[in-house]
Structure 1
């Protein structure tokens, strides 16, 4: 006679969630919360003739200084332009990767696109610094056809070019992912109904892949607006961004002002990402409707 083992008691749901989320919570959430508490404390700290205290003097200094607003707008504008140009390159790149059927060529294309991620941002930025220099490879090409030389470094042009190159793979991934989820039968049905290439793209392909484009825009903007290395190297100190001001004020031991600038930069990025997320939800509602 064989004995039947008693069923093991199921692990409580709260315990499973704790074991699954606990490591990530302690490694990500707690340090972030701790950092934000410290930034808030530094932002409310001021020094006067009577010693140390807490107040809004640093916030008042930041909000009433037009230079800070100019740098903030400059950071958002550069990030916005980088996002637009990145999406314009990422969308056709993702569409081309989707149409590569040969496994060897597909592997080569993926390696070519994503291998730069294995290099540091500093190395890639220095590479663009050499390529875009006045006597660099790009200007030599322009000179061969009777153009240039053009000033492509130590200005916003070089910064945007380098940022687009650095974050392009992050935009291709979500767009490529959403493209693989579009059933080919939709395109075939539209073609059977007489839709041309542009009409097919405007009425079928773009609406169905728009959620991936919005997600890519979120990632690209978040990385662009907080970029530090690329604007510092390609900008040569002439292109000011809020992340650069944070770094400079830390070096000057102006920790309170640096904390306020960091909080404003984070709040600005979250506000823009909130708008993107609303657009993303609207695209999903439109698809379901």
Structure 2
């Protein structure tokens, strides 16, 4: 009797529930992100393409490559593009160079209170607006600012020009993007087993040898990911170069803004597309390096 009564009770519990088709589940997962991110991006790209080809020109010029030819024939545009790439490249190198030891230090912190304080100090600037941070650096780096006054009191030197030039722009950009470089490097470091370093030290390797042949190769993917993020953010920076550069440091994002203000939407579209393609080209090269690094680790 007990066996006969157990079967009807167990059957409903074991009955499988209704499962949605795989394509429906994928659509439900991808759909919101697609409509919020991917679709507006491609829509914006289509709009930029139409403006860059004169398809929306109010003068009725019709479709053509005149704006692209104007951009390519003007050396000023290429010099500004080079400024953007150079500033983004220097900012990327400095950010990664600063983020690596910061991530290594955070990994070795054992006190929970100090670790929380360190994370707050590192990421609290992200809670402030970009304009506020730029004005803050403008006050700190000015001729009568805190930095120059401190240098004058300690070393008796004259004020150093740190604003309205590339130096101030790069300092402010590094401050803005540094947290974005720390996170991927720290994430990669946490995945490296400590026994690798201990084994190298037991075999007689020096600290520099362990870093060069063990730690750095294993954490290089995180460094490359950090470089990709930082370069993309630095190349498209607008507020910081505008305020800290004082009109003397021009980037392509600033030219896009100025052309939009002058209702030169066609040239603004061309410059925006060139900036996007340049950033994507650099990211493609970094991604190829990242894949080569993974292949070398697996071989």
Q: Which TM-score tier does this pair reach, normalised by the shorter chain?
A: over 0.9
Show CA shifts across 1:145-189 (max 9, x none).
212300000000000000000000000000000001100000000
Q: Matches of 1:199 and 1:159 in 2, distance apart?
A: 36
Q: Deviations over 1:59-91 (max 9, x none)?
A: 000011100000001100000000011111000
Aligned partners of 1:184 and 1:239: how far apart in 2? 45
Q: What is aligned with 1:89?
A: 98
CA distance in 1, matches of 2:73, 2:273: 16
Moved runs in structure 1, 4+ residues, more than 4 A? 46-50
Q: Structure 1: where are the runs of 5+ without partners?
A: none
Compare CA radii of gyration and give the structure with the larger one: 2
Residues paired across the two proteins, number: 289
Q: Aligned partners of 1:139 and 1:117: how far apart in 2?
A: 26
The change in CA–CA distance for 1:7 and 1:159 in structure 2 (over 3 A counts) is: same
In 2, Cα distance between equivalents of 1:107 and 1:147: 38
Match of 2:160 in 1: 150
Deviation at 1:52, TM superposition (A): 3.4
Corresponding residue number in structure 1 for 2:34 = 25
2:272 maps to 1:262: yes
TM-score by length of 2: 0.94
Counterpart for residue 208 of structure 2: 198
Whole-Å separation in 2 of the counterparts to 1:27 and 1:105: 39
For residues 223-255 of structure 1, give each alpha carbon's deviation from its aligned partner in whole angstroms, at most 9, with x where no partner exists: 000000000000011100000000000000000
Structure 2 residue aligned with 1:217:
227
Quick check: 1:159–1:234 contact (8 Å CA) kept in 2?
A: yes
Say whether 1:138 aligns with 2:135: no
Q: TM-score, normalized by length of structure 1?
A: 0.97
Per the TM alignment, residue 47 of structure 1 is displaced from its structure 2 partner at its CA by 8.8
Kindly tell me: are residues 31 and 148 of structure 1, through their superposed partners in 2, closer, same or farther at Cα, counting changes over 3 Å? same
In the alignment, the residues of structure 1 paired with residue 258 and residue 78 of structure 2 have an alpha-carbon distance, to the nearest angstrom, of 16
TM-align CA RMSD: 1.4
How is 1:93-112 mapped onto 2 (pairs within 5 angstroms)? Answer: 93-112=102-121
Q: What displacement does 1:48 show?
A: 8.9
Q: Distance in 2 between matches of 1:130 and 1:205?
A: 39
Indicate the SS of the match to 2:61: strand
